[in-house]
């Protein structure tokens, strides 16, 4: 390793003037005995010189202890000249960088700092020499063997006669901490991705199950294959538009919109409890048959409420329950079912009707108007749009109708994207009671 290193002393003892008090005493003695004998002067100066010698020895011991502490410090400590050349290094610096001491002395810092970090390091050197505070920062270095390490770099300038003459710096190896932090971040990112993937799988499974149940309910009716897909997408378009531009925008969240998309296919779930001869009747229903048909709203709502209670997730199915029960209510209060409100048994009206049911009501009627059934021929989009607009404030919430008009081109696209898989023979149009 070569000879024992000599740490540059920021306060060399030989250059330190004697304390002012000691100087004053010496001058006083010399003045008093300027014409006297030398022995008298020497005897007077002896105690003072002895004190000065004691002080010098104490200073030397202090400096020796300082050198030992710095030399044996666990962290690398070194000094450079203003150009960044190493002028002194401790043992830890040699160990951390893998060089012998004599190899490091005179070496420029650009030999050990990783490319891409040199500007940061030399900016710190300049600031330190100019007397500015340099806050510790992260730096990448390269050892003699080529290993890259991450360190925390802290430095301060040494100034003499008003100018920077050297820089003292300390390195603290934080490679392991940085690696662990990266591993944690990668793990958390992977975990988040896995959660998102699993959540997506659960949602898709849930949607598939809902569609399967809804299709089972629809299979006993004359509705065709694309109906449920169209309904859910119509509802999503309406909910998204209302969330952006309507008086309801502050109360509609993205989650609410997604839940309407997921649960709207269950709007007619209760049809499984209605007799086939009523559901499959091509002609107009009698008053008695129509009253029985109305029961499907309560049957479906009750089934969804029970499903939520069974899995202790009532909140998930609450929107589905409201859709099933109230999607045949009308804005003017002429729909069904009737419920008890303040002691009065009547249908809901206006904003008493849950918003999700108002959205599904328009989507369901639009699909009925534009679809072909055994009991009717389809209407073109323009005719269906005009009929819906004419019902704003009567059958439909005017805000929902406005949202529909703004996004009508998307309704046309959805209609084309999800055509009926089976087209039954149709007759001239007449909207049956079940769809009113």
Contact 360, 267 (CB under 8 A): yes
Closest CA to 305 of 325, 327, 286, 335: 325
Q: Are strands 137-142 and 77-80 parallel, antiparallel or unpaired?
A: unpaired
- How many alpha carbons lie under 13 Å from residue 82 in its C-beta half-sphere? 10
Contact 374, 431 (CB under 8 A): no
Q: Is 394 noted as a catalytic residue in this protein? A: no
Angle between helices 287-310 and 314-326 (to 10 degrees): 170
Tell me the backbone φ, ψ of residue 34, rounded to 5 degrees: -60, -30
Contacts of 22 (CB under 8 A, 6+ apart): 48, 51, 52
Q: Of residues 271, 294, 330, 376, which has the active-site annotation?
A: 271
Contacts of 124 (CB under 8 A, 6+ apart): 134, 137, 153, 155
Contacts of 87 (CB under 8 A, 6+ apart): 8, 79, 80, 81, 105, 106, 166
Contact 79, 168 (CB under 8 A): yes
Tally of residues, the chain: 436
d(CA 207, CA 234): 16
Contact 353, 398 (CB under 8 A): no
Tell me how crowded residue 182 is: count the other CB atoms within 10 A of its CB. Answer: 10
Q: Which residues are catalytic?
A: 271
């Amino acid at each position: 390793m070569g000879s024992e290193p000599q740490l540059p002393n920021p306060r060399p003892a030989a250059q330190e003037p004697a304390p002012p008090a000691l100087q004053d005493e010496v001058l006083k003695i010399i003045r008093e005995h300027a014409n006297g004998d030398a022995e008298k002067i020497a005897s007077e100066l002896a105690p003072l010189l002895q004190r000065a010698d004691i002080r010098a020895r104490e200073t030397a011991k202090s400096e020796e202890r300082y050198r030992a502490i710095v030399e044996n410090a666990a962290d690398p400590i070194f000094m450079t000249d203003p150009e960044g050349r190493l002028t002194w290094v401790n043992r830890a610096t040699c160990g951390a960088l893998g060089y012998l001491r004599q190899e490091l002395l005179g070496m420029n810092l650009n030999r050990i700092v990783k490319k891409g970090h040199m500007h940061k390091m030399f900016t710190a050197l300049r600031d330190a020499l100019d007397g500015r505070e340099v806050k510790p920062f992260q730096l990448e270095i390269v050892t003699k063997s080529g290993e890259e390490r991450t360190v925390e770099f802290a430095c301060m300038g040494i100034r003499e006669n008003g100018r920077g003459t050297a820089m003292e710096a300390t390195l603290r190896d934080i490679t392991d901490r940085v690696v662990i932090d990266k591993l944690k971040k990668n793990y958390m990112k992977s975990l988040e991705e896995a959660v998102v993937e699993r959540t997506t799988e659960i949602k898709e499974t849930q949607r598939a199950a809902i569609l399967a149940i809804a299709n089972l309910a629809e299979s006993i009716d004359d509705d065709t294959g694309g109906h449920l897909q169209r309904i859910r997408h119509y509802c999503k378009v309406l909910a998204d538009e209302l969330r952006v531009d309507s008086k309801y925008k502050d109360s509609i969240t993205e989650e609410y919109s997604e839940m309407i998309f997921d649960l709207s296919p269950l709007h007619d779930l209760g049809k499984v409890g209605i007799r086939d001869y009523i559901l499959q009747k091509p002609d107009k229903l009698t008053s008695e048959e129509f009253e029985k048909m109305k029961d499907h709203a309560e049957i479906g709502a009750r089934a969804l409420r029970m499903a939520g209670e069974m899995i202790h997730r009532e909140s998930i199915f609450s929107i589905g329950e409201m859709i099933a029960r109230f999607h045949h209510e009308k804005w003017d209060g002429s729909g069904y079912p009737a419920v008890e409100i303040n002691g009065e048994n009547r249908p809901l009206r206006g904003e008493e009707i849950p918003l999700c049911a108002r959205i599904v009501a328009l989507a369901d009627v639009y699909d009925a108007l534009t679809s072909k059934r055994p009991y009717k021929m389809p209407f073109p989009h323009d005719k269906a749009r005009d009929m819906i607009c004419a019902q704003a404030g009567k059958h439909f919430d005017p805000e929902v109708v406005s949202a529909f008009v703004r996004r009508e081109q998307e309704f046309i696209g959805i209609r084309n994207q999800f055509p009926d898989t089976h087209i039954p023979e149709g007759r001239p149009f007449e909207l049956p009671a079940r769809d009113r």
